[in-house]
Amino acid sequence: MVDDVRDHSENLEVRENSQGNTLTRRVLLDDEALEQVPNCRNLLEKKEYLRLLSYVAATFRQPLFYIQSIKNGFGIDQPDPQKTLHSDTFHPTMKSWFFLDDVAPEQGPFTYVPGSHRLTLGRLLWEYRQSVNGKHLEVIYARRGSFRTSPDELEAMGYGKPVALAVRRNTLVVADTHGFHCRGQATGKVSRLEIWANRRTNPFNPLPGTGARWIARLEKRLHQRWWLHADQRAAAKGEQSTWHKVANKKLLELDN
């Protein structure tokens, strides 16, 4: 699959986001992109794969899938907020990584606190305190509900230590990112390539949704439209959008 991506990356629309010293580049795997990378299509059509993602996400709705490249040490010389242990939101939500490269410890592997997707009394009390102080929290992502935590707070909540998942290529990791996790600390300029999936549902919707393909296609089109709208708004201000287009070759190259 990795050769499929490397050989056809010049035909894919690549977008980039910068967070501190990390660049994230993504290709939305819509129907047009999947025509260029048929091996990715084969993965996304595997029932066992989709069922596992649906189980963790607690919905039949398909995730949004991307080819993603994480490039540590290429952004501005500021801390990456994703390298601090955090919970994405207050309810269960799913992210997955099918790694197309080996991920060594020095490459900033995905890091997770085992069992932290389960509520404890300490976690409930901690969540309450965070919610009360929400608008005064220092990190903007925390003010939006993605609360940050520390080793001392993890212990008080009844959880153990985080585990860095250094893995071989072709490894699949699926996580409930209500649990505490982060992007691992990396050494120098390193990069990894992966198939990334994300699904966050409305926690107040009692229905499991549907896995109909036409709904998944519609959602991808709306996502592309949202990106284009963001491009237009940013261009009107003489700026780049948060997820802006970059040259196709930048998905794989190891420089800015």
Taking only the tens of pLDDT, the chain with its 256 residues reads: 777 787 777 789 999 999 998 999 999 999 999 999 999 999 999 999 999 999 999 999 999 999 999 999 886 778 899 999 999 999 989 999 999 999 999 999 999 999 999 989 999 999 999 999 988 998 899 999 999 999 999 999 999 999 999 999 999 999 999 999 999 999 889 999 999 999 998 888 888 888 888 999 999 999 999 999 999 999 999 999 999 999 877 787 755 5
pTM of the predicted structure, to 2 decimals: 0.92
Q: How far apart (Å, rounded) are the C-alpha atoms in residues 130 and 239?
A: 34
Side-chain half-sphere CA neighbours of 1 within 13 A: 18
Per-residue model confidence (pLDDT) at position 94: 97
- Token digits for 14? 């690549």
Cα separation, 233 vs 255, whole angstroms: 28
In the numeric block, which tokens belong to residue 77? 């010389």
What are the phi and psi torsion angles at 197 (to 5°)? -130, 150
- In sequence order, what are the residues at sequence separation of 6 or more whose Cβ sits closer than 8 angstroms to the Cβ of residue 90? 127, 145, 178, 203
Task: State both tokens at 144.
Answer: 């939006």
pLDDT at 30: 95
Those residues with Cβ within 8 angstroms of residue 55's Cβ, 6 or more apart along the chain or in another chain: none
- The whole-number pLDDT of residue 167 equals 97
Question: Quick one: tokens of 134?
Answer: 């929400």
Residue ranges of domains in the chain, CATH in brackets: 2-251 (2.60.120.10)
The tokens of 197 are what? Answer: 């999936």
